[in-house]
Structure 1
C-alpha cells in the first residue's frame, strides 16, 4: 500500500466523448461544469488533451536545430571562419523564430481551438476516482465515458486522439490483419518443416541427396537448421504484431503490449506448434479433421509423438541461442556500430535504455510451457531439458530486468490474466492429447475417464475469471479507502492529489516547455494552463 500511494493514476479518471459546452462552445467548460455539479465535494481539477501534431512537429524541428547549432559552434571554435559565423547567426535566427511560434501555439487561446473530446479529471481521493471510473456519468452512455486513467508514463497520447466511433473499426482491422498474417505465414513455416523430413526433401529438391555423402551434415540440416530458420522467422513477428496493436487504438502502451502478447501467442501456437504437427498436405489434413472431428484427439496424439525430436531441438535452440542473443543484445550493438560510423559519427554518445519486451518474451516462454505440458504425457524425457531452459531463462531475465532494461511504466500485474489464459489453453491441449493417446493405446476406459478432467479444468477457469479477473479490471473501493486513510494519517493526501493534477500535463508531448533564451527556462513542474482556471 505504501508503494502505491504516489501513483497519479489512482486519483485520475480518463473521460472520453466530452461534448461541447452550449454556453461557451468549449469542451473544457463542459468537463468543469459537469464534474463541479455532480461531484461537488470530491472533484479537484481537470486537464484537457489537445491536437498537438503541429506543436510536436515544431518541437522536433527545434531540437534538431539545437543539435545542428551545437555542432556548428564546435566547428567555429576550431576554424574561426566568417562563413561559419554567418551560418550560426542564421541558425540562431531560425531557432528563435520556431521558439516564438511554439510559445504562440502553446498559449491558452490557441490551445482551446485544438481541444480533443478527451480529458484527465483529478479527484481529491482515490475512493472518489474509483467510484467515478466505474459508474455511468451521463444519461447518454455514449457521452462522458469514464475509466481509470493509465499511469502518466504509460499513456499512448496519439491513440487518445482517435475518435471513439472509429475505434471498433480499428480493432476489427487489427484482428483481420493478424489473422491474415498468421494464415499466410504458414507458407514459409511449411517450407521450413519440409527440411526436417529428409525423404520429402529429396523428392522436392533432388540435389539435397548430396548431404548424405558428408558425415554429420544430414543430422545438422534436418535437425538443427529448421529450428534455427524458424527462430529467425519468429523474431520479426512480435514487432509486427506490436505495430498492429498500436493501430488498434489502445489508450496505454501496456494495453498495446498485452494485445500484442495475445496475437503473438496464438500466432506461435498456430504456426509453430500445430503447423509442425501436421504432416503431408496441409489441405488434406484440414479436410480430414473437418470430415472426421472425432478423430482429432487421436490425430493430435499421433502427430505429437512423431514430432518430439523437432520440439526438443526447438527448445534447445531457443534456450542456447535465444538466451545468448538476449544477453549480447546483438541488435543494439549493431545499431550502435552503424550509428557511430554514419549519422552519429563524432557526436557525443547518450545512453539509450528500453523497457522489457513483454510482447516478445511472454508468448515465447508460454509456448515453451505449452510444449512442456503436452510432452509431459507423450515424451517425459523432454522435461529435464525444459527444467534447464526455465532455470537458465530465470537467471538471464532476472539479470536483464535488474541491470539492462529500464522500467518505463508499471502495470501492477496486468499481464497475469493473459499468462493464466495461456496456461489454461496448454492444460486443455494436454488433456485432449491424453484422450487421443489412450485411444491409440486401445484404452477406452482411460480415455473416457480423462474427459471429466477437461470439464473440471474449464469450470475452474470460469471460477478464476469470476473470482480474480475483476480485481485486474477495477480499482477496489476497499483498497482505495485504506490507502486514503493511511495518507490522511500522514498528512500526505493533499500533496499526492496536487501531484496527480499536474502529472499528465507534464507528460503530454505538445505541452513540452521550450527554452526561450539561454538564461531562462520555464518550470516544468507547473502546467501551461491552470487546471482549474479554464
Structure 2
C-alpha cells in the first residue's frame, strides 16, 4: 500500500464519521427518536426534556454538546448508575489512551527519526511507508539498540499500567460487594448433581437432610429447580396472545380521513377480536396454573437446587468446599444473582456438559477455518501489485483516477469489518450451549471465543496471507523460525492495520452511536404496524461479548506495532478517545444493565493485553534476528520470562478474589449488618427470588398483578 491509499482510507473514514456524528447530533434532538437514543433513561422512568418540543429550525442544527457531557461523567457516576462491569469497559478505553499516548511520544520523538534516517541510500520498496518503520534500518546497525531500549521501556510501562488497573479494580470490586451486600446471591449457593433421597425418593428432602446435618448453624432453606419444558411452551403461547390483545387495545380508534360508520365498525370488530383473545388467554392461564401444580406435586425436580444460608459467611464456606467424597456429587458454587440466572441451561445434566463443550470447540474451529476464505480474499485486494499478476484484468481499475487507492486503502478493511461483524453474535450463540449457569458466564465465554478468533483470523491470518501456505508450512516444519516469519509478515502488514484501525474506530464507533439498524426499523414500524401507537424503548443489554474482544484486538495490534511502526500509534489514540466518548453515551443513555458481576470481566481483559505484550516481544525477537542482531534477540528472552512471571504473580495475587467471595469480606459484611441499625435480610425474599419464572403466578389479563409471591417454593426452615 502506498501513501495515497492510506490517505484515501483516512479521508473516506473521516468523512463518513463526520456525516454520521452530525446525523446523530440531529436525531438525538428529535422527540420521535427518544426510544432509540434514550432507551435506558425511558425504561428507568426518567423524563427526557427537549429544549424545543415544537418544530423549529434549531432542532435540525448539528451540535457537539454530547461530547463535553461525556467528559463530565465521572467514574463514580458510572459505578453508581451502571455498576463495575460497565466501568470496566470505560477503564479499558482509558488504559488504551494512557498506554498509547506514552507509546506515541516514544515512537514519534525517538523511533520515527531513527527509522527515517536508518540508511544512507533511500530504501526502495513497494511498501513506501517502510521508510518510517524498522524495516528501513540497515541490518546490523547499532541504531537497533534504540528499538531494543524502547521495547523494554514500553513493556515495563504496559505491565505497570496492568498492575495498577488490576489493583484499582480489585479495590472497587470489594467496595461494590459491600455496597450490594444485601443482594440474594451473597446468601445463596447453587448445588448440582443432587442424589435422590433413598427414603422419600425425592431430591428436595435430600437437600434439606444434607445441609441440615453438615451446616446446622448457617443453613436456612432451599429452592428446587424443576423440569419446565412443557410449561415454557404454554407461557410463550400465552404471552403471544397477550401481546395481540395489547396491540388491539393500543390501535387508534379515530382517523380523520374515515367516515364515522367505518370507525364504529372498526371499533366493534376490534372489540370482538379482543373478547375472543381474552377467552383464549383465560384457557391458557388455567392450563398453566394446573401444570404448575402438577410439576410440584409430581416432584419433577432436577438435580439442581439453590440453597440459602443465614449468613454470607456460611454461603461462602459452603460454595468453596468439597461437599462429598465423590467429587461429582453435591457440586457447589456461589449462585449468580437472580436476574443473571440462565434457567434454560440448568436443565442440562452436569455429566454431559463436556460433550457440549467439545461440540462448541468444533463449531468454533470450523467457523475459524471457513473465515480464512474472506480474509485471504481481502488481503488479495490489499496486495494490488500481486493481484495484478494473479488476475491481469484488474489493471482496468487504473483507468479511473484514484480508484486504485480507494480499492487498496479503504475497501479491504471495510470488507473485513463487515465479515467480522457477525462473528460475535455467532460465538455468543455457541457460548449458550455448554450449560453456563448464568448469562454473564455465557458472555465471558463468548468474549474468549471472539478474542481468539480475531487474533487467529484478523491478526495472524492477515499477516501471513501474503504467502499463506508457504508461511504456515514453514512454521510447522521449522517451529524455531516462527518468530522470524512472524516478524517479516508483521512488518509488511503495517499499512493494512492502519486502515483497519481507521475503519474500526471512525466508521465503527460512529455507526455504533448512530444505531442505523434501529433507526431504519423504527421508520418502517412507524409507517406500518406501529402507526399511531406509543413507542416502547428499544432496550438492549450492553454487549460485552462484542465490545471487549474488538477493543482488545486493537490493543493487540497497537502493542505489536508500537516499536515496529510508530506511525500507527496516533491513529490508536484517536480510536480510544472516540470509543471512550461513544460508550460513555451508550452506557448512560442506551444500553440496559441486566446483571452485575462486580468486575469479573477485568481478569480476561488483563489476559488479552498480556497476550499482546508477549506477542510484541516475540515479534521483536524475530525482527532483531532478521536484522542480524542476535545479541538483541537473546537479550529479549529475559524480558519475556519476566512478563510471564508477572502474569503468574497476578494470577495468584488478584485472580482468586475475582472468582470467589472471600471469607474475610463475607464476615465483615455480616458484622457490618449486625452493628448497623439496618433491617436484617428477609430470607423469604431470597427464596422467592430464586423461584423459576415459569412457576410464578400468571395474570396476563391485567396490566398489574397484586401477587408478587411465587406460586410454589420448596423450603425448609
What's the TM-score bracket when you normalise by the shorter of the two chains? over 0.9
Within the alignment, does 1:513 sit opposite 2:689 as a pair? no
**Residues 213 and 519 (structure 1), Cα distance of their counterparts in 2 relative to 1, 3 Å cut:** closer
Which of 213, 221, 226 does residue 50 from structure 1 map onto? 226
Within the alignment, does 1:257 sit opposite 2:433 as a pair? no
Partner Cα separation in structure 1 for residue 298 and residue 179 of structure 2: 37
Contact 1:125 1:493 (8 Å CA) reproduced: no
- The match for 2:670 is 484
Within the alignment, does 1:94 sit opposite 2:280 as a pair? yes
- The match for 1:6 is 182
Partner Cα separation in structure 2 for residue 529 and residue 446 of structure 1: 70
- The match for 2:236 is 60
- The match for 1:439 is 625
- The match for 2:216 is 40
Deviates more, 1:118-127 or 1:3-12: 3-12
**Residues 339 and 23 (structure 1), Cα distance of their counterparts in 2 relative to 1, 3 Å cut:** farther
Contact 1:6 1:496 (8 Å CA) reproduced: no
Within the alignment, does 1:79 sit opposite 2:255 as a pair? no
- The match for 1:528 is 711
Which of 489, 497, 508 does residue 311 from structure 1 map onto? 497
Deviates more, 1:44-53 or 1:366-375: 44-53
- The match for 2:54 is none
How far has the Cα of 1:108 moved from its partner? 6.6
Partner Cα separation in structure 1 for residue 580 and residue 250 of structure 2: 47
- The match for 2:202 is 26
- After superposition, give the CA deviation of every residue in 1:330-350 in whole Å (9 maximum; x if it has no partner): 222233334445555555422
For the aligned residue pairs, the C-alpha RMSD in angstroms reads: 2.2
- After superposition, give the CA deviation of every residue in 1:76-115 in whole Å (9 maximum; x if it has no partner): 9743587666544433322221111111122276454321
Contact 1:104 1:110 (8 Å CA) reproduced: no
TM-score of the two chains, using structure 2 as the length reference = 0.71
Partner Cα separation in structure 2 for residue 419 and residue 520 of structure 1: 42
Mark the runs of 5 or more structure 1 residues left unpaired by the alignment.
none
Contact 1:515 1:522 (8 Å CA) reproduced: no
**Residues 188 and 94 (structure 1), Cα distance of their counterparts in 2 relative to 1, 3 Å cut:** same
Partner Cα separation in structure 1 for residue 329 and residue 638 of structure 2: 47
- The match for 1:248 is 434
- After superposition, give the CA deviation of every residue in 1:113-141 in whole Å (9 maximum; x if it has no partner): 32111111110000000000011222322
Contact 1:8 1:496 (8 Å CA) reproduced: no
- The match for 1:353 is 539
- After superposition, give the CA deviation of every residue in 1:134-177 in whole Å (9 maximum; x if it has no partner): 11222322221110001111111101110111101001111111
Within the alignment, does 1:379 sit opposite 2:565 as a pair? yes
**Residues 207 and 324 (structure 1), Cα distance of their counterparts in 2 relative to 1, 3 Å cut:** same
- The match for 2:345 is 159
Mark the runs of 5 or more structure 2 residues left unpaired by the alignment.
1-174, 254-262
Partner Cα separation in structure 2 for residue 262 and residue 474 of structure 1: 20
Within the alignment, does 1:297 sit opposite 2:473 as a pair? no
- The match for 1:103 is 289
Contact 2:471 2:485 (8 Å CA) reproduced: no
- The match for 1:179 is 365
Within the alignment, does 1:217 sit opposite 2:393 as a pair? no
SS at match of 2:304: strand
Partner Cα separation in structure 2 for residue 244 and residue 109 of structure 1: 30
Contact 1:124 1:494 (8 Å CA) reproduced: no
**Residues 73 and 496 (structure 1), Cα distance of their counterparts in 2 relative to 1, 3 Å cut:** closer
Which of 423, 427, 440 does residue 237 from structure 1 map onto? 423
Partner Cα separation in structure 1 for residue 704 and residue 504 of structure 2: 54
- How many residues in Structure 1 have an aligned counterpart in Structure 2? 531
**Residues 125 and 233 (structure 1), Cα distance of their counterparts in 2 relative to 1, 3 Å cut:** same
- The match for 1:394 is 580
How far has the Cα of 1:516 moved from its partner? 7.6
How far has the Cα of 1:456 moved from its partner? 1.1
Partner Cα separation in structure 1 for residue 242 and residue 703 of structure 2: 15
- The match for 2:158 is none
Which of 398, 403, 420 does residue 589 from structure 2 map onto? 403
Displacement over 6 Å in runs of 4+: 74-77
Matches within 5 A, 1:320-335: 320-335=506-521
Contact 1:72 1:88 (8 Å CA) reproduced: yes
- The match for 2:102 is none
- RCO greater where, 1 or 2, for CA within 8 Å and sep 6 or more? 2
Partner Cα separation in structure 1 for residue 217 and residue 391 of structure 2: 78
TM-score of the two chains, using structure 1 as the length reference = 0.94
- After superposition, give the CA deviation of every residue in 1:305-361 in whole Å (9 maximum; x if it has no partner): 111111111111111101101101122223333444555555542213112111111
Contact 1:370 1:427 (8 Å CA) reproduced: yes
SS at match of 2:208: helix
Contact 2:251 2:533 (8 Å CA) reproduced: no
Partner Cα separation in structure 2 for residue 154 and residue 523 of structure 1: 23
Deviates more, 1:69-78 or 1:132-141: 69-78
- The match for 1:268 is 454
Partner Cα separation in structure 2 for residue 236 and residue 85 of structure 1: 43
Partner Cα separation in structure 1 for residue 251 and residue 450 of structure 2: 49
- After superposition, give the CA deviation of every residue in 1:13-34 in whole Å (9 maximum; x if it has no partner): 0011112222222211111221
**Residues 394 and 476 (structure 1), Cα distance of their counterparts in 2 relative to 1, 3 Å cut:** same
How far has the Cα of 1:256 moved from its partner? 0.7
Contact 1:151 1:409 (8 Å CA) reproduced: yes
Partner Cα separation in structure 2 for residue 142 and residue 415 of structure 1: 28
**Residues 127 and 461 (structure 1), Cα distance of their counterparts in 2 relative to 1, 3 Å cut:** same
Partner Cα separation in structure 2 for residue 202 and residue 44 of structure 1: 75
Partner Cα separation in structure 2 for residue 276 and residue 452 of structure 1: 29
Deviates more, 1:166-175 or 1:57-66: 57-66
